[in-house]
Amino acid sequence: MGIELSQTGSFTWDMTADEHHWSDETYRIWEFAPQTKITVAMILGAIHPEDLPHVEGVLARAALEEDFELVARIVTGDGAVKHIHAVGHRMPPIVDRLVFVGAVQDVTMGRLAEEALSRDRAELTRAARVATLCALTASIAHEINQPLAGIVTNASTCLRMLAVDPPNIEGARATAVRTIRDGNRASDVIRRLRQLLAPTLPGMEPADQPLDHPGPRKTPLGDGE
């Protein structure tokens, strides 16, 4: 009962004679008809094509009288894919024979659960990136909107000062200076953003500065007044 619940079967494999003795659970895992005469060719024929080179390598090492462990996919007769985990231990030497005893477990459910968890983690990571991007976009829009609004206001004020009779040249000049200032602020926000996203290497700074050294001034993405 416990073997069935754990989906684990047992086997012995006479590698020299290509003789296999499987438990009922092993037959069920591979979905071969009970009491079918098993051969290595049948086993390799059920291995997923992408895993076949790996399995052949494991069997080649087993032929050198090494214990083996195998994780691979098999394809059943109806096209279903299963994940199996098998281990084999070499029995004490028998005259002119190389015999292994081992167990094979159907780990499909566990593997599918791991894949589902991996997909959930990837989706969570993507959602976190989207949320971060939204927050960054809102911050950038706010920082750029302030100087742009100032540029529009100053330009309108400058036009009104120039439209009066006589024109307010000094006021228009001061307004133009504020317009240039706000334009530089918007440009500075974009420059800082490009620095933030640029793939640059981290910089090096001396660590033995005097205690009263003010250090670099940290500023937000866009400096306000």
**Whole-number Å distance between alpha carbons of 63 and 99:** 10
**Whole-number Å distance between alpha carbons of 61 and 55:** 10
**Whole-number Å distance between alpha carbons of 54 and 47:** 10
Contacts of 162 (CB under 8 A, 6+ apart): 168, 169, 172
**Whole-number Å distance between alpha carbons of 55 and 208:** 59
Which overall architecture, per CATH, does domain 2-106 show?
A: 2-Layer Sandwich (3.30)
Residue 167 pLDDT: 86
Contacts of 221 (CB under 8 A, 6+ apart): 139, 140, 143, 189, 192, 193, 196
Instruction: Order the strands of the 8-14 sheet from edge to edge.
Output: 19-22, 8-14, 99-106, 81-90, 68-75
Q: What is the sign of the dihedral through the CA atoms of 90, 94, 98 and 104?
A: negative
Residue 122 pLDDT: 80
* pLDDT of 118 strictly over 90: no
Residue 66 pLDDT: 83
Cβ atoms within 10 Å, residue 10: 15
Instruction: List, for residues 120-136, the tens digit of each pLDDT value.
Output: 788 887 877 777 777 77
* Angle, vertex CA 192, rays to CA 186 and CA 197, nearest 5: 130
- Segments making up each domain of the chain, as ranges: 2-106, 137-197
Residue with more model confidence, 114 or 176: 176
Residue 43 pLDDT: 94
* pLDDT of 9 strictly over 80: yes
* pLDDT of 158 strictly over 70: yes
**DSSP at 57:** H
Q: How many CA atoms lie within 13 A of 144 on its CB side?
A: 12
**Whole-number Å distance between alpha carbons of 52 and 72:** 8
What is the average per-residue pLDDT within 4-28?
Answer: 87
Q: How confident is the model at residue 1 (pLDDT cuts 50, 70, 90)?
A: very low
Which residue do the tokens 């070499």 mark?
A: 90
* pLDDT of 6 strictly over 70: no
What is the average per-residue pLDDT within 105-126?
Answer: 82
User: pTM (2 decimals)?
Assistant: 0.52
What is the average per-residue pLDDT within 134-143?
Answer: 75
Residue 40 pLDDT: 93
Instruction: List, for residues 17-60, the tens digit of each pLDDT value.
Output: 999 999 999 999 999 998 899 999 999 999 999 999 999 999 99
Residue 133 pLDDT: 74
* pLDDT of 210 strictly over 50: yes
On average, the pLDDT of the chain sits at: 81
